[in-house]
Amino acid sequence: MRSIWNGAISFGLVSIPIKLVNATESHSISFRQIHLGDGGRIRYRKVCELDGEEVATAEIGKGYEEADGSIIPITDEDLAQLPIATAKTIEIVSFVPADEIDPLQMDAAYYLAANGPTAAKPYTLLREALKRSRRVAVAKYALRGRERLGMLRVVDDVIAMHGLLWPDEIRAPEGVAPEGKVSVREAELDLADALMATLGEVEMDSLTDEYREAVEAMISAKSEGAFEPPAEAEVEPAGGKVIDLMAALEKSVRAAKASRGEASASAAAADADAKTEAEAEVTPIRRSGGSRKTAAAASPKAVGGKKSTASTAAAKKTASGTKKTASRKSAATKSTSKTATAAAAKKATGAGTSTKKSTAAGASAKKAAPRKRTSA
- In Å, what is the CA distance from 264 to each residue of 21, 257, 304, 349? 49, 6, 14, 77
Closest CA to 9 of 125, 97, 146: 125
pLDDT at residue 336 greater than cutoff 70: no
Using only C-alpha atoms, the chain has a radius of gyration, in whole angstroms, of 48
Cα–Cα distance for residue pair 283/293, rounded to 1 Å: 12
Cβ contacts of 28 within 8 Å, gap of 6 or more: 212
- Contacts of residue 96, defined as CB under 8 A and 6 or more positions apart, other chains included, come to 135, 136, 138
| Closest among 322, 319, 299 to 310, alpha carbons compared | 299
In tens, the pLDDT along 142-178 reads 887 788 999 999 999 999 999 999 999 999 998 888 8
Instruction: State residue 262's pLDDT score.
Output: 60
Give the predicted TM-score (pTM) of the model: 0.56
- Residues 199-238 have pLDDT tens digits of 878 888 888 888 888 888 888 888 888 878 777 766 565 5
d(CA 298, CA 280): 5
Q: How many residues are listed for the chain in this entry? A: 376
Name the H helices within the chain. 76-80, 120-133, 186-199, 210-223, 245-259, 265-278, 290-297, 309-368
Mean pLDDT for all residues in the chain:
75
Which pLDDT score, from 0 to 100, does residue 236 have? 60
